[in-house]
Structure 1
Amino acid sequence: MTLRLQPSEIEQAAKILREGGTVAFPTETVYGLGANALDEAAVAKIFAAKGRPSWDPLIVHVSDQAMLAKLAFSITQAEKLIQNFWPGPLTLLLPRTPEVPDAITAGRPLVGVRMPSHPLALALIRAAGVPIAAPSANRFGHTSPTTADHVLEDLDGRIDAVLDGGPTTVGVESTVLDPNQNPMLIYRPGAITPAMIEQVAGPVRIFQPIAAPQENPASLPSPGVGIRHYAPRAKLILVASENELHQQEERNVEEKIGILLPQGWTARPSTEVFPWASWNDGEALAQRLFAGLRELDNRGVTIILCPLPEASGVGLAIRDRLEKAARTK
């Protein structure tokens, strides 16, 4: 049975981590499944609990510069980004130190590191006194968790504890950036947008795989570039407009349909609706995205219809998650 701990029990959560256990905890993005990043046996428990393949690297969370120095060698571009965006939802791929277990990076020379801005996450890392490896706290490939209840839906009995800090605020995973390249390379879009990065540190480009990643590659170049991820149980169909949404409702009339419905859009009375957010409020759409997919799944729908925002600002991140979630293989 997985313990459900309250913020007042943070010392108990920290003790579990120090002793090699697993604790899910809130960050500003989504809930992460944490273990001591310098303990190879503890890291292995993350992969086992999630059913995560070894070729998919992890992100390590730190609370200060001294902890970062144990894991990675700094570069000039990274220092600019850290100064402007940490603590916050930006993961940097940096040259790893020998202390980092191979399992963290899938054997690659760069380690993904970030300093979360969620006060409970920072307090947990400081209390544990170790860097915490933490991918999203869900079964591999499934919809990411933004509440403790979501974590327990996937991982109850498979992890030692979940630290309940309420709903997350950003709602999509961190931006993952390789600052070693010129131009810098965004492997996964997030709340820290290309425009924000360029204003501080220069040009960026967004990762575009030449071919679809293999199902079992030797390793992925970064967290967040897997071919299919974030997926609900129901079939996910993406639409470009309200008109196309209504066409899909007519086309799938025999199915139990759910919709992530923007404010002001309409749906058939028989459709299960999750009230999403204003279509012009990208931050609110991101914050409610995974909660909406999970709620519609829990209502037993067989098809989820979801509009696809424009590819700008945080809309890039929402599109990235939805396009991966909608892949059939």
Structure 2
Amino acid sequence: MQEQIFKHRETQILTVKEMKQDREAIIRAGQIIRQGGLVALPTETVYGLGANALNPDAVKNIFLAKGRPQDNPLIIHIEDASQAERYAKNIPPVYYELCRRFCPGPLTIILPKKDIIPLETSGGLETVAIRIPAHPVARAIIHEAGVPIAAPSANLSGSPSPTTAQHCVHDLWGRVDAIVDAGECSVGVESTVISLAGEKPILLRPGAVTPQMLKEFLPDLMIHEAVTEKLKEGVRADSPGMKYKHYAPKAKITILDADSREFTEYVNSQKKEGLFALCFEEDVPFLQVPYISLGKDETDQAKHLFAALRELDERGAQEVYARCPSKQGVGLAVYNRLIRAAAYQEHTLDGESEA
């Protein structure tokens, strides 16, 4: 049924290289969303699959297009902090403090929802996840649509998130009405998600806004155990990216917690057909197997992770040893995505599992 619904959609590419010159593409994208259609659009984090967050039927089509479980909540994207009052209630003062510091930007804040937000959008929860994206094209499309835009990552569920329009084309061609091409995303991993809907603030998904940054405003911020561990059976997923295996290429990935010398020596000793290394720039001179480098630092690693996971498939990787990123700063976001891509397979070099 899912294939019958989506294989006949006439997908169009809407290119935005310059905001004023390509204004018609932005207007068209907003129109499609306002009328109940699906548009893959750029944000600073990853490309999102956008639909009218207030239209239950449009939201259902997001889940169908992605093959995404319907109890996985969606994030709604708005233009400015004050618009949250239309969709959320019991908004604490710290929400506005966080928005002044981090928004527009890669931060999502969960609040108790108003009834205007359908349960289809909230994944059946009585909360709503709100973000104000920094990408000028995303903001312009929200404005033209005139509605909040529900937008999970614009990929097939379980596959690596898209950071270019071409990734969206690969996954969603024929399943969506339009793909807006505005170049590569600057951050590369999804937004940080925190909840202010409970007794204490809690970080549910790490991103470019780090726990250290947030604790200036939320000194009692807790970090959910599912950030680094598999969500326990029967536990409700309060945020996107918590419950299901995500971001995975076809290859089997194993994370190795090791320094550069230990990592490269071990990977070289395992050399065989189809083996790749997912490494850092400092490892490259010492590797004797095919590799993909994530770059020099945590910012590089975040920006290049999802493209690297897709490249592993393109190059026919069958087994991958990935060097474990830092679990501090933006590195925590990289680790959070990588451990899910690896189906929680992480090992020290003595063979003892760490996850």
* TM class, shorter-length: over 0.9
Q: Please name the residue that 2:15 is paired with.
A: 6
For residues 123 and 110 of structure 1, do their structure 2 counterparts lie closer, same or farther at Cα, with a shift above 3 Å needed? same
Residue 267 of structure 1: CA displacement? 6.4
Q: Please give the alpha-carbon distance, in whole angstroms, between the structure 2 residues aligned to 1:164 and 1:51.
A: 23
Q: Please give the alpha-carbon distance, in whole angstroms, between the structure 2 residues aligned to 1:173 and 1:182.
A: 25
Q: Please name the residue that 1:54 is paired with.
A: 70
Residue 250 of structure 1: CA displacement? 2.4
Q: Please give the alpha-carbon distance, in whole angstroms, between the structure 1 residues aligned to 2:55 and 2:244.
A: 28
Match among 161, 174, 184 for residue 144 of structure 1: 161
Give the letter aligned to residue 154 of structure 1: D
Residue identity (%): 40
Q: Please name the residue that 1:30 is paired with.
A: 46
Q: Bigger shift: 265-274 or 12-21?
A: 265-274
Give the letter aligned to residue 229 of structure 1: H
For 1:258, what is the secondary structure of its paired residue? strand
Q: Please give the alpha-carbon distance, in whole angstroms, between the structure 2 residues aligned to 1:298 and 1:72.
A: 43
Q: Please give the alpha-carbon distance, in whole angstroms, between the structure 2 residues aligned to 1:270 and 1:4.
A: 41
Q: Please give the alpha-carbon distance, in whole angstroms, between the structure 1 residues aligned to 2:118 and 2:236.
A: 15
For 1:79, what is the secondary structure of its paired residue? helix
The reply to whether residue 265 of structure 1 matches residue 274 of structure 2 is: no
TM-score, normalised with respect to structure 2: 0.86
Residue 200 of structure 1: CA displacement? 2.4
Give yes or no for contact 1:56–1:219 (8 Å, CA) kept in 2. Answer: no
Give yes or no for contact 1:106–1:220 (8 Å, CA) kept in 2. Answer: no
For 1:238, what is the secondary structure of its paired residue? strand
Q: Please give the alpha-carbon distance, in whole angstroms, between the structure 1 residues aligned to 2:81 and 2:238.
A: 24
Instruction: Give structure 2 stretches of 5+ with no counterpart.
Output: 1-9, 17-21, 346-355
For 2:153, what is the secondary structure of its paired residue? coil
Q: Please give the alpha-carbon distance, in whole angstroms, between the structure 1 residues aligned to 2:255 and 2:164.
A: 25
Q: Please name the residue that 2:210 is paired with.
A: 193
Q: Please give the alpha-carbon distance, in whole angstroms, between the structure 1 residues aligned to 2:123 and 2:320.
A: 34
Match among 118, 140, 148 for residue 101 of structure 1: 118
Residue 211 of structure 1: CA displacement? 7.2
Q: Please name the residue that 1:88 is paired with.
A: 105
Give yes or no for contact 1:30–1:145 (8 Å, CA) kept in 2. Answer: yes
Q: Please give the alpha-carbon distance, in whole angstroms, between the structure 1 residues aligned to 2:241 and 2:55.
A: 23
Q: Please name the residue that 1:246 is paired with.
A: 265
The reply to whether residue 135 of structure 1 matches residue 144 of structure 2 is: no
Match among 68, 83, 87 for residue 71 of structure 1: 87
For 1:244, what is the secondary structure of its paired residue? helix
For 2:33, what is the secondary structure of its paired residue? helix
Give yes or no for contact 2:163–2:306 (8 Å, CA) kept in 1. Answer: yes
Q: Please give the alpha-carbon distance, in whole angstroms, between the structure 2 residues aligned to 1:194 and 1:24.
A: 29
Q: Please give the alpha-carbon distance, in whole angstroms, between the structure 2 residues aligned to 1:134 and 1:187.
A: 18
Instruction: Give structure 1 stretches of 5+ with no counterpart.
Output: none
Q: Please name the residue that 1:294 is paired with.
A: 310
Give the letter aligned to residue 263 of structure 1: E
Give the letter aligned to residue 54 of structure 1: Q
Q: Please name the residue that 2:3 is paired with.
A: none
Q: Please name the residue that 1:19 is paired with.
A: 35
Give yes or no for contact 1:26–1:164 (8 Å, CA) kept in 2. Answer: yes
Count of residue pairs the alignment pairs up? 324
Give yes or no for contact 2:284–2:293 (8 Å, CA) kept in 1. Answer: no
Give the letter aligned to residue 13 of structure 2: R
Give the letter aligned to residue 263 of structure 2: E
Give yes or no for contact 2:48–2:154 (8 Å, CA) kept in 1. Answer: yes
Summarize the alignment of residues 106-255 of structure 1 with structure 2, pairs less than 5 Å apart.
Answer: 106-209=123-226, 212-214=231-233, 220-241=237-258, 242=260, 243-251=262-270, 253-255=271-273
Q: Bigger shift: 262-271 or 122-131?
A: 262-271
Give yes or no for contact 1:55–1:219 (8 Å, CA) kept in 2. Answer: no
Q: Bigger shift: 262-271 or 125-134?
A: 262-271
Cα distance per residue 1:12-60 (max 9 Å; x no partner): 1111111100000111100000000001110011000000011111010
Q: Please give the alpha-carbon distance, in whole angstroms, between the structure 1 residues aligned to 2:58 and 2:35.
A: 9
Q: Bigger shift: 255-264 or 311-320?
A: 255-264
Residue 218 of structure 1: CA displacement? 8.6
Residue 239 of structure 1: CA displacement? 1.5
For 1:34, what is the secondary structure of its paired residue? strand
Q: Please give the alpha-carbon distance, in whole angstroms, between the structure 1 residues aligned to 2:147 and 2:37.
A: 13
For 1:264, what is the secondary structure of its paired residue? helix
Residue 81 of structure 1: CA displacement? 1.0
Match among 34, 39, 61 for residue 55 of structure 2: 39
For residues 152 and 213 of structure 1, do their structure 2 counterparts lie closer, same or farther at Cα, with a shift above 3 Å needed? farther
